[in-house]
A and B are shown apart, each in its own frame.
Chain A
Amino acid sequence: MFAISFQKVTKQFQTAKGQLTALDSVSFNIEEGEFFGLLGPNGAGKTTLISILAGLARATSGHILVNEIDVQKDPLKTRKLLGIVPQELVFDPFFTVREALQFQSGYFGVKNNANWIDELLTSLGLADKANSNMRQLSGGMKRRVLVAQALVHKPPVIVLDEPTAGVDVELRQTLWQFIDRLNKQGHTVLLTTHYLEEAEALCQKIAMLKTGRVVALDKTSELLKAASSNVLRFKVDAPLPPELAKLARVTGRIVQFPAQNAAQIENYLSSIRLAGLVAEDVEIRKADLEDVFIEVMGESL
């Protein structure tokens, strides 16, 4: 049984400029207990897909099943199975952290939830803020409350929509330790993030979306294998000649070339020398998920 099954999910919006296809027949499955990454640039359709899963929006066509239950046919059942951390930093200014969690438990019909709420507060580093009003919390603290709110009913499937956007290193560490623990206890996790390092470290399987279509879907290890195996990285003080620049990834002074073998690396270095440039801090590293991401997004142009 799949924890989540996306079946030809299409979503179209009517805009002033005409019809916009946000999702184009998206299909993939997430196994029970899997830590799954959904990646893609801004506007790729990740949040739209999660909104349909959560019942916040409706698909134009296609189906999403959670534990084999259709989210559009039986939304009350599927919402109980899902714990969704929304991307927007929203909160109810009338209440304290503990009240927010108590209400959320109540909406899900969970009674006598004080112990689990205490555990959530402690695990997410919120214990000393339990009786603070939501307005008094910093952005990072509000983000933690969003995570806690999504977990009050111990959902078997946890969906995190960019949970680490704009939060500090400490929260990321706390959050990932906690989510990893829940995953090891059997909870399925669906994560969207722009931090590809996090996705590489945490996700067993990854789907990449681009303009509403799935452009890559595989185990993280397979995706890394399939990409160019190495990256040549160095710094230069002057711009690269255009024919070299189009092959490279340039970030300020840092230049990176995807490379399959030693001959290719030698070629790049000699071209640089012939162009009259000096490469400093030269290193060769293994390709990471960011390289794969850029390769996949480039190919599917």
Chain B
Amino acid sequence: MMGWRALFYKEVLRFWKVSFQTVGAPVLTSLLYLLIFGHVMADKVKVYDTVSYTSFLVPGLVMMSVLQNAFANSSSSLIQSKIMGNLVFILLAPLNHWSWFMAYVGSSVVRGLAVGSSVLVVTLFFTDLSVSAPLWIIIFALLGATMLGALGLIAGLWSEKFDQMAAFQNFVIMPMTFLSGVFYSIHSLPTFWQSISHLNPFFYMIDGFRYGFFGVSDVSPWLSLCIVSGALIAVSYVGLSMLKSGYKIRG
């Protein structure tokens, strides 16, 4: 079964052909966040003793870009194909649920990492960044991108119109990303909200990712690894089951 490679390549080419929109735009957005928040908050917020706020912000913004773009890739591709009707070409092909999963999630990982690394490179012009444990950086970027690619797949399969997709994105993905500690350490929150944040798997992705840069984090990177892996397995299981049963794509 090598058909998945063709689908994977098609999905990568699909976002690459419109890379201004799919890579360039999110890089610019992240840069604006960095410049504005960095400028306004730099003297007011100190998260860790040794880390400036701007440096603290960079890994958060990089991870947020990885997550949002991985989600956007699989979800927008699927909803567009469903509405345009061209999903039929893939439905008619002898591709099993694993092939779909690897192609859609794999291409989302590529886009997430492409945007994330571009954001990282661009922000290096504006702030100094140390790298304490590069392996943690890679592991959390990969796990985060895969999980959001799989969530995008679920959202794409579930949605029947753009409105539903927008709801999924704005009412689930956006709050979970923004409330995960991209812009702040959760230690700065009241105890109640700290406990709430601990229920959000996105928090562990960003916290573990940040550990790779600074060697300090809100919780142990091993705990983050366990929780993120567990969440990834659960999300993948749901996505694969939906594909296997043909949920909303085969009548």
Assess the B3–A106 pair: CB atoms within 8 A. Answer: yes
A100 to B: closest C-beta gap in Å: 8
> Residues of B at under 8 Å CB distance from A?
1-3, 5-7, 9-10, 13-14, 17-18, 81, 84-86, 88-96, 246, 250-251
Q: A108: which of B3, B84, B85, B251 is its contact (CB, 8 Å)? A: B3
Q: Given A86-B88, A91-B86, A104-B89: A76 and B251 within 8 A (CB)?
A: no
> Inside 8 A of B17's CB, which chain A residues have their CB?
94
Which chain B residues lie closer than 8 Å to A195 at the CB level?
Answer: none
**Which residues of B are found within 8 Å of A105, using beta-carbon distances?**
6
Residues from chain A with Cβ under 8 Å of B81 in the complex: 92
| Nearest CB on A from B101, distance (A) | 15
Let me know if B250 and A56 touch, CB within 8 A.
yes
Any B CB within 8 A of the CB of A256? no
The answer to the question of A51 belonging to the interface, with a C-beta cut-off of 8 Å to chain B, is yes
Residues from chain A with Cβ under 8 Å of B94 in the complex: 75-77, 79-80, 107-109
Cα(A103)–Cα(B89), bound, Å: 10
Contact across chains for B250 and A57 when beta carbons are under 8 A apart: yes
Distance to closest chain B CB from A85 (angstroms): 10
Give A206 Cβ to nearest chain B Cβ, in Å: 25
A-B contact pairs, 19 of them (CB 8 A): A54-B92, A55-B91, A79-B92, A82-B92, A90-B84, A91-B86, A92-B81, A92-B89, A95-B13, A103-B9, A103-B89, A104-B89, A104-B93, A106-B3, A106-B6, A107-B89, A107-B93, A107-B95, A109-B94
Of A76, A82, A93, A102, the contact of B96 (CB 8 Å cutoff): A76
Interchain CB contact under 8 A, B7 and A51: no
* Total interface residues in chain A, CB < 8 Å: 33
Residues of B within 8 A of A191 (CB): none
Question: Which residue of A58, A75, A86, A95 contacts B251 across the interface (Cβ within 8 Å)?
Answer: A58
CA distance A271 to B81 in the complex (A): 60
> Using Cβ atoms and an 8 Å threshold, which residues of chain B touch A107?
3, 6-7, 89-90, 93-95
How distant is B140 from chain A, measured CB to nearest CB, in Å?
31
Chain B residue with Cβ nearest A159: B92
Distance (whole angstroms) from the CB of B73 to the closest CB of chain A: 13
Q: Which residue, B2, B88, B89, has most C-beta atoms of chain A within 10 A?
A: B89
How far, in angstroms, from A201 to B165 measured CA to CA in the complex?
A: 48
Q: Is A149 an interface residue (CB 8 A)?
A: yes
Least CB distance from B71 to A in Å reads: 19
Among A88, A102, A107, A108, the one with the most B-chain Cβ atoms within 10 Å of its Cβ is: A107
Q: A76 — nearest CB in chain B belongs to which residue?
A: B94
Interface 1/0 per residue, A125-154 and B, CB below 8 Å: 000000000000000000000000110000
- Closest CB in chain A relative to B98 CB, distance in Å: 11
A84 interface residue per 8 A CB criterion:
yes
